[in-house]
Amino acid sequence: MPSSSPLGLHRVLDRPSGMLPQAARRLDASPELQADDEVRIDVEVLHLDAASYRQLSTAHTGSLDRVDGEALRQAVLDIVAERGKMQNPVTGSGGMLIGRVAEVGASSPLGLQVGDEVATLVSLSLTPLHLSDALTRWDGLSATVPAAGHAILFGRSVAAVLPPDLPAEVALMVMDVCGAPALVQRLVDRHRTQTGSAPRVCVLGAAGKSGVLSLAAAGRAGAWHRIAVVRDQAEAGRVAEAGEAERVVVADARDPVTLARAVAEAGGPAELTVVCVDVPGCEQPAILATAEGGTVVFFSMATDFAAAALGAEGVAADVTMIIGNGYAPGHADIALDLVRSRPGVRAAFDARRSTAQTTDP
């Protein structure tokens, strides 16, 4: 066993050792760097992930069905004090944080400078964290938590410097899903290299953040025909405004026959189908809507492995099925550049931001 590890194994307090930080019950969150490749961050804001915040707010509901902010704050403090990380023990999930770089180990590969304002792109569920302010600036009523304290990044952590030219809120929304456009760009590039021709690309759930960015990435990489599938006319209008699809169609992505027909009528089937629909049951429809020899990439966390594997076999579909990886080298820069360079994409994220501000009390 090495004394330190780019995966952070040396910060795991559970015994026997050898467990990864995400699986561990308790981490050592002491502020001193314990490895040459560690980085310490002064924490400014925690963004709890949606599943975790929903669980906590349901568990701490007071009178009149109102969230008991005080109890919720104490619950978060207790978790962090006990575990040395903000990992919801029920959902297992974490979230991300924003902070400023305080110290950088001599051999850190993350490319950060002291003073950089960064967002962490690996989960809080594996990030050593210590809180020093009792979260007094947080009312417990939203998943955005003003906080003071410190966090530790490892050699294989991922953090992105917040860009000075974009609102932080837009940058965070983009970085949250930046694995999707990076992978779509790579798959379109690969298809062009291998076949000498540009692929058609179909995105299911095209109105969401990852959907719009996937369409834009496909466009920049040279896809020749992009089909956006959405669930209703309101979404269709928004996707059409973004200007990143040659065809926008309304169809139920859970209905195999309807979907395949709708995609075919819109110029499909596509050589690359990107599933961004966050509801179960889209596996076999996506497979059937894809050209023989094509590729389906699943970014929805609602994807069921067996449904995809058996779904392809059951209809003798020769498709390559890929599990969407949230990480790729340079993924944040790729996504942010799409937002900067493609006005329709930027407008879609600005609209989402103002909607969120309107509907979130």
Task: Name the segment binding a second copy (CB under 8 A); options: 80-88, 201-209, 239-247, 327-335.
Answer: 327-335
**Which residue type, as a one-letter code, is found at position 290?**
T
Question: Residue 47 or 73: which CB sits closer to a second copy?
Answer: 47
Burial of 37 (0-12, 13-18, 19+ CB in 10 A): buried
Quick check: 175 and 332 in contact, CB under 8 A? Answer: yes
String marking each residue 227-266 x if it binds a second copy according to CB under 8 A: ----------------------------xxxx--------
**Least separation, in Å, of the C-beta of 316 and a second copy?**
5
274 forms bridges with which residues in the sheet?
203, 297
CB atoms within 10 A of CB 210: 27
Q: Residue 123, interface with a second copy (CB under 8 A)?
A: yes
Q: Residue 195, interface with a second copy (CB under 8 A)?
A: no
**Least separation, in Å, of the C-beta of 274 and a second copy?**
14
Quick check: 62 and 6 in contact, CB under 8 A? Answer: no
Q: Residue 64, interface with a second copy (CB under 8 A)?
A: no
**Which residue type, as a one-letter code, is found at position 333?**
D
Q: Residue 276, interface with a second copy (CB under 8 A)?
A: no
Structural element, H or E, at residue 99: strand 95-104
Q: Residue 13, interface with a second copy (CB under 8 A)?
A: no
Q: Residue 277, interface with a second copy (CB under 8 A)?
A: no
How many residues make contact with a second copy (CB under 8 A)? Answer: 48
Largest Cα span, the chain: 64
Kindly identify the residues of this chain, within the stretch 279-318, that bind a second copy according to CB under 8 A: 284, 288, 298, 301, 303-306, 308-310, 312-318
- List of E strands, 162-261: 200-204, 225-230, 247-250
For the chain, helix, strand, coil in percent to 5 are: 40, 20, 40
Q: Which residues bind a second copy (CB under 8 A)?
A: 1, 7, 9, 18, 20, 22, 122-123, 125-126, 156-158, 179, 194, 255-258, 284, 288, 298, 301, 303-306, 308-310, 312-329
